Amino acid sequence: MAEQDKWKWQEPGTAWRGICTYHITLTIPSREPLLGTLVIPDGDPAQARVERTSLGNAVVDELYVMCRHYPAIRILQFCLMPDHLHAIIRVTQVMDTSIRSVIRGYWQGVKKLGRAYTLSVSPASGSSSVSPVSRPLAVPPASGPSSVSPVSRPLAVPPEFNSGSTPQAPTWPFPIFTGRPFIRPLSRRGQLHTMMRYVQMNPQRLATKRLKPGFFHVQRDIIIHGRSYDGVGNTMLLMAQSFAPVTFYLYPREDGDASAAARTTPFYHTSR
């Protein structure tokens, strides 16, 4: 912890202003798929992609607005999911404004987009016959309608205002992005590569989870060579018919444990 206190982004007076790479996550707390629809061509998770809605397009556009306002910021990678956004950004020089303030400004922008979205799909706005996802936003950043299936969401107007005694239901903006974005500095070796891979694989992981939910919960009574096990993951690898022996070598540690080099452990894996 003493070593971490020396990091520039944590120093008093300069916190979050230095050159660094950050992972930003913006989530819809209700987990409604308002930003896009997951598409899995031919049932292959490796080809999964997210088709953006007009709100999703606007949220991504707001990222580029942020970069135009702060030229020191570069977007290294981003991935829009149906209910959240991942972005990896790089601050290339020391800024007068902290990254926290920058992301807070981005958050305020997307909150405004979310409120405009709820107004555009409100029954009182006369758009009840239009899909709430395919209807364009009433704000400039949207890049056009998206041909995706409708997504149901709670109405912005409570049912009591739709009674017969109320001639016209009032309309007000309903908040969508109520949770603050998560900011994580990537300052350790290997973190950037790992996180970029994580962001890139998001659609594939979601597709795998939907197509094969058994891979993501505990499976009990898995019988292997007459013994019963509980496990998590792809059990098809355990049930394969062809196996090949492999030798596992333990190399000496940096502290000089030379005896580890002589130890080997046989194990098996599935052969292709």
Residues 258 and 131 in one domain: no
* 189 found inside a domain: yes
Residues 189 and 221 in one domain: no
CB atoms within 10 A of CB 64: 12
Q: Residues in the chain, how many?
A: 272
* 209 found inside a domain: no
Residues 242 and 187 in one domain: no
DSSP states along 113-161? HHHHHHHHT-GGGT-TTS-TTTSPPSSTT--------------SS-GGG
Q: Beta strands of the chain (E only): which ranges?
A: 20-27, 36-39, 49-52, 73-80, 84-91, 182-185, 219-224, 227-231, 243-249, 264-270
Residues 264 and 191 in one domain: no
pLDDT of residue 59: 97
Residues 133 and 32 in one domain: yes
CATH for 38: 3.30.70.1290
End-to-end Cα separation, the chain, in angstroms? 46
* 165 found inside a domain: yes
* DSSP-derived secondary structure letter, 42: G
CB atoms within 10 A of CB 106: 23
Which two structure tokens, joined as six digits, stand for 71?
A: 């030229």
**Cα-based angle 59, 61, 66 (whole degrees, multiple of 5):** 95
Q: Which of 142, 165, 200 is the last residue of a domain?
A: 200
Burial of residue 207 (CB within 10 Å: 0-12, 13-18, 19+) is buried
CA atoms within 13 A on the CB side of 233: 6
* 205 found inside a domain: no
* 211 found inside a domain: no
State how far the Cα of 250 lies from the Cα of 262, in Å rounded to an integer: 8
pLDDT of residue 131: 39
- Residue 228's SS3 state is strand
Q: Which of 200, 224, 246 is the last residue of a domain?
A: 200
* 162 found inside a domain: yes
Residues 233 and 176 in one domain: no
Residues 105 and 47 in one domain: yes
Residues 113 and 89 in one domain: yes
Residues 237 and 186 in one domain: no
CB atoms within 10 A of CB 79: 17
pLDDT of residue 1: 41
* 175 found inside a domain: yes
- Residue 108's SS3 state is helix
pLDDT of residue 192: 93
Question: Tens of pLDDT along the chain (272 residues)?
Answer: 444 444 444 444 445 778 899 999 999 999 999 999 999 999 999 999 999 999 999 999 999 999 999 999 999 999 999 999 999 999 999 999 999 999 999 999 999 999 999 888 766 555 443 334 433 343 334 333 333 333 444 433 344 434 444 444 445 678 899 999 999 999 888 899 999 999 999 999 999 999 988 787 888 888 877 888 888 777 777 666 666 666 666 666 565 554 544 444 444 444 44
Residues 134 and 246 in one domain: no
pLDDT of residue 3: 45
Residues 83 and 178 in one domain: yes
Residues 101 and 150 in one domain: yes
Q: Domain range for residue 88?
A: 4-200
**Number of domains forming the structure of the chain:** 2
pLDDT of residue 241: 67
- Residue 96's SS3 state is coil
pLDDT of residue 110: 96
pLDDT of residue 167: 44
Which two structure tokens, joined as six digits, stand for 69?
A: 């306002």
State how far the Cα of 197 lies from the Cα of 20, in Å rounded to an integer: 18
- Residue 107's SS3 state is helix
